[in-house]
Structure 1
Amino acid sequence: MHQYLKAIGFGDISSKRELNEILTQVEDSFTQHDLIFQDDEMDFCEYQKEFGAGLGIALCGDMDIDESFERQYYYPYFIGTGITSYADVYIERRMDKESYVGVCEEMKVGINLIFHLQNVVEYLKERQMTKHSIKYSSVTLSGLCNGGTILLPVLKDKEQERKQQEEVHNRMMLMSAARTGDPVAIESLTMDDIDTYSKVSRRLITEDVFSIVDTYIMPYGIECDHYSIMGEILELQRIVNEYTLEEVYVMKLEVNGLSFDICVPVKGVMGDPAVGRRFKGNMWMQGRINF
């Protein structure tokens, strides 16, 4: 059973029989259906069924010439809104199945963000038509969380916010230069990291770490597309899973200068979320390439 079914409101599923009933419903009464040619006898097929606004289950497999569908795998999905990044994205196929991950080289966070690709069929069609390089405009990221904690915001005045934005911009410029091999930029980044470590070590003696660190995103666990995050809540709404009637929060977060939506069950959140407060949790990152 998929670990993140709970994130979209299927937390009470306790048996494989219940799961198979839901997957059969996805196949029989789908919201969206896409397929793409693989060879003379088989097409790659994807069924999607929405169980709430922007959230649902996708079912992928092979369809033969007799239109008989053979299920390969399924996954819960949550479609984000807006544009998260205009950075370069590279797509790689997983070794074990017709599933793809994207690698987004976003300078704002300082690491390559790896996400599960949601619009696989659209990507494969673009690849078949262009044959060579695929042109895209941006990427929209989203996340599934099984739970999390609400934290109060860090108090900052306008001058501190302006200074922080300036520092982020300067660091992005240095990282861009360092990637081209600029030795001065590499040395500057190294010295900045040493200074930051020294300042944080001194402050931790008398302060809590979450009053020092405003937001963060970093890899979590052994899966490449899992992250531990803490971000400021920009927008908040409740959505009901139409099948289970469970409520989930949909939050738009600002994390290290990036904005993306996450989906988390109401009963899995500790604290009272509100715009301006912070959310801390672990998430499975998904994304769509905007062609």
Structure 2
Amino acid sequence: MHQYLKAIGFENIQTRKDLKKLLKEVEENFTHQTIVSYRPGEDFCEFQKEFGQDVGITLCGELDDEEHFEAAYYFPYFEGSGVTTYAEIDVQRKIEKEQYVGLCEDSKIGISLIFTLQNGVEYMREKQAGLAKDVQTSVTFSGLAQGGMILLPVNKNEQQILNEKRASDTRRELMNAARKGDQAAIETLTFDDMDLYSKVSKRLANEDVFSIVDTYFMPFGAECDMYSIMGEILAVRERINRMTGVRLYQMRLNVNELTFDICVPADSVMGEPEIGRRFKGTIWLQGYINF
């Protein structure tokens, strides 16, 4: 049973019988259907059913000549908005099933971001049409969270904001140069990190860590597409899962200068989300490649 069903309001799914009933509802009363040629005599089919604004369940499997559908896997999804990043994307198939993960590098983060691909069947179709392996396009990220915490913002004046922007731009240029093998850039980044570590260590003696660090994006746990994040809330809206009646918060965040949306059950959030405050939690990262 997928643990992130709770993130879109299905905390009531406790047994395999409940899950089968839910997936049958997706198959029989789908909102969207996508089919792509798969193997001789078989197509690969994707059913999607919305259970609220921008949230739902995707069910994928094989469809034979007699229109018999055999489910292979499912996952809850949350559709993000806008464009998060323009980057070179590498898409890989999972070993055990026809599901895909994407990998892209954005200099704002400084690490490779791995995400579950929402439009995997569309990727299969593009690949059959001759899509290159490494795609230079845009990605829309979104995140599902089971819970989280609201923190107050860090108070900054205009000069501090301007200085941080300049430092961020400089670091991004150094990161890009370092990726190309620039030895001077690599050494500068190393010394900057050592200097930053020293400054933070001194401040931690008298300050709380969340008054020093105002945003972060870090891998979490053993799963490659799980991340611990903290970011500024740019927008927040409350939605309802139409089947269960569970309230959901959908928030647009700025995390390390990456902008994307997350969805989390309202009752699992500690604090009141408002624009300007910060959200802290663990997300399952999804991405939609804009072909």
TM-score (norm 1): 0.98
Structure 1 residues 122-161: aligned runs within 5 Å: 122-130=122-130, 132-133=132-133, 135-161=135-161
- Matched with 1:10 is 10
- Matched with 2:164 is 164
Partner Cα separation in structure 1 for residue 236 and residue 252 of structure 2: 7
Summarize deviations over 1:76-128 as a string: whole Å, max 9, x none.
Answer: 00000000001111101111110000001111011011000000111111111
Partner Cα separation in structure 2 for residue 244 and residue 78 of structure 1: 16
Summarize deviations over 1:43-62 as a string: whole Å, max 9, x none.
Answer: 11110000001100000111
1:135 positional shift: 4.8
- Matched with 2:116 is 116
TM-score (norm 2): 0.98
Partner of 1:190: helix, strand, or coil? Answer: helix
- Matched with 1:277 is 277
Summarize deviations over 1:18-43 as a string: whole Å, max 9, x none.
Answer: 11111000000000001110121111
Summarize deviations over 1:210-266 as a string: whole Å, max 9, x none.
Answer: 000010010000000000000000000001000001010000000000000000000
Matched, 1:93 2:96: no
Partner Cα separation in structure 2 for residue 53 and residue 75 of structure 1: 17
- The answer as to whether partners of 1:117 and 1:287 remain within 8 angstroms in 2 is yes
Partner Cα separation in structure 2 for residue 134 and residue 144 of structure 1: 26
- Matched with 1:249 is 249
Partner Cα separation in structure 2 for residue 224 and residue 14 of structure 1: 26
Partner Cα separation in structure 2 for residue 131 and residue 141 of structure 1: 21
- Matched with 1:46 is 46
- Matched with 1:82 is 82
Where in structure 1 do 4 or more consecutive aligned residues deviate above 6 Å? Answer: none
1:161 positional shift: 0.7
Tell me how many residue pairs correspond in the alignment: 291
Quickly say closer, same or farther: Cα 1:172–1:243, change in 2 above 3 A: same
- Matched with 1:67 is 67
Partner Cα separation in structure 1 for residue 229 and residue 8 of structure 2: 18
Q: Which amino acid aligns with 1:58?
A: T
1:132 positional shift: 3.8
- The answer as to whether partners of 1:149 and 1:271 remain within 8 angstroms in 2 is yes
Partner of 1:276: helix, strand, or coil? Answer: coil
- The answer as to whether partners of 1:127 and 1:134 remain within 8 angstroms in 2 is no
Q: Which amino acid aligns with 1:241?
A: N
Partner Cα separation in structure 2 for residue 99 and residue 141 of structure 1: 17
